[in-house]
């Protein structure tokens, strides 16, 4: 009788052990974060906090539910004052990943070094956020964004840097504002020239959904005309006055856009809010993350 009881106890112990081991592995801290955290944040949104206190800010971003980030600060070989490997290590410790980097300071002369540093940080997408090398213009009197030089010159720069990225194992994206979608005096639409003339093996696009809307253009029209070219989205909303707003609180029809994500080629997306107009940026990113849930981005 004791032998039978011992056998039964042993058998029950083995069964319970098998079932308890499986869930224990799945509910580790890292895996729990992987299950609950989703979507990305463009760190430009919290740039002031990142400048003064980057590590606690990154922890707060992870705590707000985001799984990956896009860097927006690079100087003298460092991201937010950290070497590429230090930056990656901090992100790893928080369960975050830097998936893309805005590298507006790129030139044909420094591109190789910037590409090497982006790669060392474990980042896949090298993003050019505005026409580089002095081509971007901004009129503070009117808040008007624009470009000097020609679309053909920008195509040449993008293809050259895009080929360098490709050879290094990175992916180059161009990020738009409104002026690229607005016809010039001769009818040229810069975004369309880029889409048609840039080598798709080397150059693709990060569509900023706010700025497309601001230009009175349709994201859906561009997805239809240039399928597969928009590998990333910046997801930011627009209020009734045409200002930046947390995701889900404004007027942009994200559900219709999200329904065409496969056609667009979207591989990842990032919440971004350039200005928060008195709302604390950390509170804004929490509201936006809830908006992602409500809109079905998860």
List, run by run, the mean pLDDT of 10-residue segments along the chain (298 residues). 36 31 35 69 98 98 98 98 98 98 98 98 98 97 95 98 98 98 96 98 98 98 98 98 98 98 98 98 98 95
**Residue 175, beta-bridge partner list:** 206
Q: Residue 96: how many CB atoms within 10 A of its CB? A: 22
Q: How far is CA 284 from CA 208, 249, 271, 273, in A?
A: 18, 11, 10, 8
Dihedral (CA of 219, 223, 225, 228) sign: positive
Instruction: Check residue 36 and give its pLDDT.
Output: 82
Q: Transcribe 198-209 into DSSP letters.
A: S-TTTEEEEEEH
pTM flag (> 0.85)? yes
pLDDT at position 298: 83
User: Which residues, at least 6 apart from 100, have a Cβ–Cβ distance to it below 8 Å?
Assistant: 40, 70, 71, 123, 124, 125, 126, 127, 173, 206, 232, 268, 270
Cβ-based neighbours of 213, under 8 Å, separated by 6 or more = 219, 238, 252
Integer Cα distance of 174 and 95 in angstroms: 27
pLDDT of amino acid 199: 98
What is the CATH T-level fold of the domain 37-295, as seen in this structure?
TIM Barrel (3.20.20)
Place of tokens 């490709």: 166
- Distance, CA of 105 to CA of 220 (rounded, Å): 31
Q: What is the pLDDT of residue 168?
A: 98
Number of Cβ within a 10 Å radius of residue 134:
9
Q: Reduce the DSSP state of residue 68 to 3 states and report it.
A: strand
Return the DSSP state at 128.
E
DSSP 159: H
Q: Tokens 């981005």 map to which residue?
A: 297
CA distances from 95 to 22, 58, 117, 126, 217 (A): 21, 10, 21, 21, 37
Tokens of 227: 């399928």
Which pLDDT score is estimated for 17? 35
Residue 124 near residue 88, CB atoms below 8 Å: no
């Amino acid at each position: 009788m004791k032998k039978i009881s011992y056998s039964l106890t042993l058998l029950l112990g083995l069964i319970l052990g098998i079932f308890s081991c499986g869930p224990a592995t799945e509910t580790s801290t890292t895996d729990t974060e992987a299950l609950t955290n989703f979507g990305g944040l463009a760190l430009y949104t919290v740039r002031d906090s990142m400048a003064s206190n980057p590590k606690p800010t990154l922890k707060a971003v992870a705590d707000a539910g985001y799984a990956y980030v896009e860097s927006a600060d690079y100087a003298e070989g460092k991201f937010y004052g950290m070497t590429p490997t230090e930056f990656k290590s901090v992100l790893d410790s928080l369960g975050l990943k830097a998936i893309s980097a805005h590298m507006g300071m790129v030139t044909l002369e420094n591109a190789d070094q910037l590409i090497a540093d982006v790669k060392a940080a474990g980042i896949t997408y090298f993003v050019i956020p505005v026409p580089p090398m002095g081509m971007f213009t901004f009129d503070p009197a009117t808040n008007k964004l624009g470009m000097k030089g020609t679309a053909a010159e920008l195509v040449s720069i993008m293809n050259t840097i895009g080929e360098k990225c490709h050879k290094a194992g990175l992916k180059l994206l161009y990020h738009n504002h409104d002026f690229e979608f607005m016809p010039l005096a001769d009818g040229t639409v810069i975004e369309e020239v880029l889409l048609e003339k840039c080598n798709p093996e080397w150059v693709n696009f990060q569509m900023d959904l706010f700025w497309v809307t601001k230009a009175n253009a349709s994201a859906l029209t561009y997805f239809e005309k240039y399928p597969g070219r928009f590998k990333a989205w910046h997801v930011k909303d627009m209020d009734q006055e045409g200002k930046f707003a947390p995701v889900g609180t404004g007027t942009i029809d994200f559900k219709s856009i999200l329904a065409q994500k496969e056609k667009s080629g979207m591989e990842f997306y990032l919440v971004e809010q350039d200005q928060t107009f008195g709302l604390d940026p950390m509170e804004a990113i929490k509201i936006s993350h809830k908006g992602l849930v409500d809109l079905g981005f998860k």
